[in-house]
Amino acid sequence: MRRLFIFASVLAALILPASAQIGNPAGIDPATPQSAPGVPAPNTTNTQDKLFAQLLDAGGLAEVVFGTLAERKAQSSSVKEFARRMVQDHSKSNEQLERLAKQANIPLSGELGPDEKAMKEELDRAPGAGFDLAYMQGQLVSHQKAVILLQYEIGQGQDGELQRFAAESLPIVIGHLEMARAVMDELTGAGSPATTGAHGRDDHSR
């Protein structure tokens, strides 16, 4: 519950000012076409937009590839359920990003990046319960990176549509991160307090 409160607080701090930054009027390149003073023309990107789209594309593709693998290979039903959710949510997100990148003339490779390829090799080799742990550990890292990447686009991007996409995606990715933490706690037993009785009360309170 404490984690949820912290994430909710961070999210509120990020999203509220983000609406005022759409288009990044304070950081427009002098050569950027403008639809109004201080407002970049639609689908006008900067370096941050391009880096964001390309990195998020590689990460989103990996989520679908790894999730599909986990649906087949994982032993834990919780891991399988989480993987199905990742395939569903990130397939939708990938389609949105591809459409926005095409509108903004940002080329996407449609391939895994070096980090994602290394993770794929690790998951392919991981046996049994070791796969479940490796997959979920990777999910914690990848979603933490995604949160930072989305924050980066919200604050530093120039293309308004990509910034809105990032702002709308951020709470979803934070939700995925919380889900990943819960599954990892289940796998490692970290979510089971040793002093909790059968009815959820601390034994020392009796």
Average pLDDT, the chain: 82
What does the pLDDT look like over 111-126, one tens digit per residue?
A: 999 999 999 999 999 9
Flag the least confident range among 36-40, 93-97, 184-188.
Answer: 36-40
Going by C-beta distance under 8 Å and a sequence separation of 6 or more, which residues neighbour residue 187?
76, 78, 79, 132, 133, 136
Q: Does domain 45-105+115-190 have CATH number 1.20.1260.10?
A: yes
Dihedral of the CA atoms 50, 54, 57, 59 (nearest 10)? -120
Residue 139 and residue 148 in contact, taking contact as beta carbons nearer than 8 Å: no
By DSSP bridging, strand 39-40 and strand 34-36 are: antiparallel
User: What is the tens place of the pLDDT at every residue in 131-166?
Assistant: 999 999 999 999 999 999 999 999 989 898 999 999
